[in-house]
Amino acid sequence: MLTIWGRNNSINVQKVMWTVGELGLAHERFDAGRQYGGLSTPEFLAMNPNGLVPTIVDGDTVMWESNAIVRYLAAKYDAGGLWPKDPDVRCQGDKWMDWMVTVIIPQLIPVFVGLIRTSPEERDNDAITASIKAMSESWEILNAHLSNQPFVAGDSLTIADIPLGCACHRYYAMDIPHPTHANLESWYERLQERSAYREHVMIELS
């Protein structure tokens, strides 16, 4: 059976759990990280020497790094679905998955940590405000991309949507200004129609 280590309120674990939910894979998840600890034990470090979540074991395969896990599960269990067989389509998904890590996440983290995990008196409000502005401008790039297609890589949900969909929920769930991004908002509404997204991503921020 597929086993997953990681707490359900981690954005990186949510990527994996949403994928598992979409694929209907039998699995067992173990809470690990932050308040649960368990990442520095010899047993865990033997699986993931970085001491981070998520980490999965699928038969003889051990995987870490959330985007790599999403790619692995989609390729193994849903080729032609979440994992597009056409390399020209799949590369678009890869591009946007990496864009989430290199562009959106560095802008999202100061806002999320500042507003959700930092007391008001300890917040760096200038850094939070600057990151909100930069993130809104970056989401406009995806908003423009979604002007003529319902999902990030085309007409159906693929690996391209999963990391960005997790980040998008955090963006809209936080009490910050949200400039109108009509295409982005419509895409977010389509994601909310999916039961696996509601179950594994749309949980209370903490």
For the chain, domains (ranges, CATH) are 2-77 (3.40.30.10), 87-196 (1.20.1050.10)
- State if pTM tops 0.85: yes
Could you report the per-residue pLDDT of 40-86, keeping only the tens digit for each? Answer: 999 999 999 999 999 999 999 999 999 999 999 999 999 999 999 99
Angle value at C-alpha 88, between 168 and 92, nearest 5 degrees: 15
Task: Return the pLDDT at 161.
Answer: 98
Output the CA–CA distances (angstroms, integers) from residue 108 to 62, 89, 174, 198, in the order listed.
29, 27, 10, 20
Strand order in the sheet with 61-64: 27-30, 2-5, 55-58, 61-64
Angle value at C-alpha 124, between 119 and 130, nearest 5 degrees: 130
Comparing CA positions, the residue from 158, 151, 168 lying closest to residue 73 is 158
